[in-house]
Amino acid sequence: MYEVIAFYVFAVSTTILFLITAMSKNVLYAMSSLAAGMVMISGFFFLLGADFLGVVQLIVYVGAVMALYAFAMMFFDATKDIKEKHSNPALVFLLGGLMALLFVVMFSVPIIGENVQALYPMHEAAGNAQDVGMVLFTKYLIPFEVAAVMLLVAMIAGIILAGKKMDYSLTECEATDEELIKEIKKEEA
Amino acid sequence: MEIGISHYLILSGILFSIGFVGVLRRKNLLMLFFATEIMLNAVNVAFAAIGNYYGDLSGQMFAFFIIAVAASEVAVGLGLLILLYKKYGSLDLEVISSMKG
Amino acid sequence: MENLVYIALFAPFVGSMFAGLFFARRPRTHLVGIVASALIGVTFITSVILAMHVAEHGAIRVTMMDWISAGDLTIPFGFLIDKVSVTMMVVVSLVSTIVHIYSTGYMDHDKSYNRFFSYLSAFVFSMMILVMSDNFAGLFIGWEGVGVCSWLLVGFWYHKEDKTFEENPSISPSWAANEAFIMNRIADLGMLIGIFLIYWNVGSLQYEVVFAALPHLADGLLVSIAIALFIGAMGKSAQFPLHTWLTDAMEGPTPVSALIHAATMVTAGVFLIIRANPLYGMEAVHGVSMFIASLGAFVAFYAASMALNARDIKRIVALSTLSQLGYMFAAAGLGAYWIALFHLAAHAFFKALLFLGAGNVMHAMDDELDIFKMGGMRNVMRGSYIYMGIASFALAGLPFMAGFYSKDAIIETAFNDGSFIIWGILVITAGMTAFYSFRQVFFTFHGEERYKALGFKPHDMYKYVLVAMAPLALLAITFGWFMDSYKAFVTGKDGLPLYEMSHATHHIAWLLGSLVIALAVTGIVIAYKKYAGKGDNAWKRNEKFEKSFIYKLVANQYYVPHFYDEFIVKPYTMASAKFWEFDKAIVDGSVDLIAKLFYVSGDVSRGMQNGNLSSYLNWMGVGALLLILGAVLTAFVG
């Protein structure tokens, strides 16, 4: 009973929030609704018994990714309304609808199909986090490590791409403070 | 009535298409990224639902890795976006169309 | 023996290639003429040796190689040296040798000397193929080859410009060459149909196989084949109505006229009829043969009438060739094949001599053709005068000359056959022949020296050329004496059917002969009285007579060329122009349309690459959708 209510609440709110993200003209609104929508998504995960996944979604997606978006938004002018030229709205919605239909058809295969077997079956005895941990660090260890490396690389890339004045190191140079300030002021000019 | 897998899948489909429409419509690069995030999240929901239906942990694992990849993608993408903004002064796709064929 | 056949066949080819490959771009090289003439001389010698061999041992059959071997159709490159073909070989090679030697002198001042010899030797090669082949396909190859070489040679001075019809009825050498070739082509269609009919019903094109199978074919089919093959002969031998090209072909150099349009190419039609004599001798085809004989007689008269008042020296000789061809066809049509062949050989000799003599006169008069401007030239051109005199005597059929025996034989044949109309026409034509040939001789060599007033300074041809022409003169005189031995040779084993005059004709043969001689002598005397006088008796132009209807009718060749131009050439040209429009609009248009389609579609698709990320994403979405759709469909179907 509660499940049904929860599901529909989450579903409706997610849909509305994501619609705002996709349609809104204001960057701030879009971003905020995205963040909220992701919180609702994590609710789904909890409903499905994927506790660990839900927590990870909250921490990583809502906490880290959206924060990243918020920081990035600081660079751009957020007060103005985005003016967008939409050339063919009907076509776009049609495509979207078709895509949805297709996806439903595609994803209904597991329902219809009869030979699907669980590769890594769940154990009810252990909690979800323990289960995930057991599979993650044994069967999925290599992807885990690789993902870690990838995150490292992404972090470095992000720093380099967005960083300023990376040419010289503040700690290793031998200039005095006044010279440094003059350098900085000159660069900023 | 019971919430079966079909509910989740239909929901996932709707969310995906919302994201897809957003990708096609949006002319501002940042908003484009938002729409991409929507798509990724919809797919995550679908994976988790199917995994739950079969009692398989593979679905949740896949969703994990998708989250990891999305995070790194955002990091790099936003860095590039900043550089692009510095170069062109605007994030409108119509303006940044110098690679004409 | 086989090697002799190949030598006889390919020597002219070697000569042609030698001249064409190595000397085509060089200036006049005398070596070319000498080599070409020598090679044709080799052909002549080998032909004579082969003739002697054939006389003793019978026909030689040689197969060089398989040419076409596709399914049921086998056509080899084979050669049949029998009495008929060896006669032709000897005649062709002898006249060709003399003409080649003559050309070394005549074409001496021409800058395309080398090209001339290449073409001339190529012609001899084609004629040899025609004559020596043992199947209809080889004959046709030679047929086409001589047609092409004739086109090349008549149009030898292709750079001469087109003149109007009134100025020069042959318009220009290139026009005349086209006319000759196209008329021959039209006739070749008939010949091809004949060959197809033969192949379709007999299954082979070898002479022996075809002739053996003839009695088993239906009558209607035999008549059709005979008619079709004769149409081909009509084109090559310039019978009415395909005759206008022969007089216009005089635009080519004189050696060409001597070789091609007197002795060899135009006799190819007669050769075809003689070669196919098993067909034309059959009862079922009798009607066609009678038609051939009648047409021959008509053409003989028709051409002689046009020669009566022709002014162009070469045109007179060309018309006399046409007339004598008519005689040959008359003989062949009446079944006297060996007589036709005999006349063919004799005619080749004295006609070539006549042309070469005319060439000498033209050369002396700086290529002036009008006999009204010549006169009294026997004082400066003794040698040519003697030669042309001998040749004209032979042509007129005076006793003891070659023409007497052969022409009289034909006239006797007509009488013997009972076709008195043909006999009458041929007798009258004989009289006309004597008149016009001597008219030309007297105009040129006797009477007042009209050329002096016009400033010409004539001189005779080089001595060696005159010496080279001597064998022809000798043969023109003596060839007739060998008629009986020739008859024995050619109607012997594997030869032509023996045509003997009936007893009744034999009795009055001397009467018939003297009738013809009387007519000929009358003609010569009239010509002498009119044209050979000097001083007070000198010939004067009769302007009034020249304006009379009959004079103009004959002078314009009975307006037949006008008729062809108005009713065939002009409508065809108009139709061609219409078809060209059609071709440009539709054929070219559709090809251009395909190209344009590609261009346009390329231009349109270029719009896809506009650098706009949003549109790229749109396309990506469409593509992804299609792919997923495809996957889903195959998953459901499969």
pLDDT the model gives residue C466: 85
Question: B56 and A69 in contact by Cβ < 8 A?
Answer: no
ipTM for the predicted complex comes to 0.90
Contact between residue C450 and residue C372 where contact means Cβ atoms under 8 Å apart:
yes
Query: Does C630 lie at the interface with A, CB-CB under 8 angstroms?
Result: no
Question: A27 and B28 in contact by Cβ < 8 A?
Answer: yes
pLDDT the model gives residue A110: 62
Residue C85 phi, psi (nearest 5): -70, -35
pTM of the model: 0.71
Query: Does A109 lie at the interface with C, CB-CB under 8 angstroms?
Result: yes
Q: Is C186 exposed, middle or buried (0-12, 13-18, 19+ CB in 10 A)?
A: middle
Rounded to a whole number of angstroms, the distance from the CA of C626 to the nearest CA of chain B is: 15
**What is the per-residue pLDDT across A53-84, written as a single tens digit (0 to 9) for each?**
999 999 999 999 999 899 888 877 766 666 66
CB-closest option in C625, C631, C635 to A95 = C625
For chain A, the chains sharing at least 3 beta-carbon pairs closer than 8 angstroms are B, C
Structural tokens at position A104: 């439903």
Q: How far apart are CA A94 and CA A34, in angstroms?
A: 23
Contact between residue C557 and residue C471 where contact means Cβ atoms under 8 Å apart:
no
C-alpha dihedral over C195, C199, C202, C207, to 10 degrees? 50
Chain B residues whose beta carbon lies within 8 Å of the beta carbon of residue C617: 23-24, 32
Query: Does A113 lie at the interface with B, CB-CB under 8 angstroms?
Result: no
Q: How far apart are CA C401 and CA C475, in angstroms?
A: 9
pLDDT of residue C406 exceeding 90, the answer is no
Q: Which amino acid is at C506?
A: H
Rounded to a whole number of angstroms, the distance from the CA of B68 to the nearest CA of chain A is: 7
Question: How many CB atoms lie under 10 A from the CB of residue C465?
Answer: 23
Q: What is the CA radius of gyration of chain C?
A: 30
Contact between residue C332 and residue C342 where contact means Cβ atoms under 8 Å apart:
no
The count of C-alpha atoms lying within 13 angstroms of the C-alpha of C448, restricted to the half-sphere facing its C-beta, is 15
Chain C residues whose beta carbon lies within 8 Å of the beta carbon of residue B100: 609-611
CB-closest option in B20, B27, B98 to C611 = B98
Q: How far apart are CA C154 and CA C148, in angstroms?
A: 10
In the block, tokens 């037949």 appear at: C560
CA-closest candidate to residue C83, choices C333, C341, C328, C281: C341
Nearest CA in chain A to C620: A95
Q: How far apart are CA C353 and CA C99, in angstroms?
A: 9
Rounded to a whole number of angstroms, the distance from the CA of C599 to the nearest CA of chain A is: 27
Question: Of A101, A102, A108, which to mutate for an interface test with C (greatest number of C Cβ within 10 Å)?
Answer: A102
**Residue ranges in C260-418 assigned as alpha helix (H):** 268-275, 277-280, 286-307, 313-333, 337-364, 382-396, 402-417
Structural tokens at position C339: 């007589």
Chain C residues whose beta carbon lies within 8 Å of the beta carbon of residue B29: 613
Query: Would you tell me the crossing angle of helices C30-57 and C83-106 to the nearest 10 degrees?
Result: 160
**What is the per-residue pLDDT across B36-80, written as a single tens digit (0 to 9) for each?**
999 999 999 999 998 888 888 888 999 999 999 999 999 999 989
CB-closest option in A4, A11, A38 to B1 = A4
pLDDT of residue A159 exceeding 70, the answer is yes
Q: What is the CA radius of gyration of chain B?
A: 17
Q: State chain A's mean pLDDT as an integer.
A: 83
DSSP 8-state code for residue C286: H
Question: C618 and B100 in contact by Cβ < 8 A?
Answer: no
The sign of the dihedral angle between the CA atoms of C49, C50, C56, C62 is: positive
**Sorting pLDDT into bands at 50, 70 and 90, what band is A172?**
low
Q: How far apart are CA C210 and CA C282, in angstroms?
A: 14
DSSP 8-state code for residue A120: S
Contact between residue C501 and residue C412 where contact means Cβ atoms under 8 Å apart:
yes
CB-closest option in B16, B24, B58 to A103 = B16
What's the mean pLDDT in A129-137? 88
pLDDT of residue C158 exceeding 80, the answer is yes
Rounded to a whole number of angstroms, the distance from the CA of B28 to the nearest CA of chain C is: 9
Rounded to a whole number of angstroms, the distance from the CA of A111 to the nearest CA of chain B is: 8
DSSP 8-state code for residue A75: T
Rounded to a whole number of angstroms, the distance from the CA of A101 to the nearest CA of chain C is: 10
**Residue ranges in C496-588 assigned as alpha helix (H):** 503-531, 543-546, 549-555, 560-564, 570-582
Residue C146's alpha-carbon distances to C119, C151, C192, in angstroms, are 10, 8, 16
Query: Does A105 lie at the interface with C, CB-CB under 8 angstroms?
Result: yes
**Sorting pLDDT into bands at 50, 70 and 90, what band is B101?**
low
DSSP 8-state code for residue A61: I
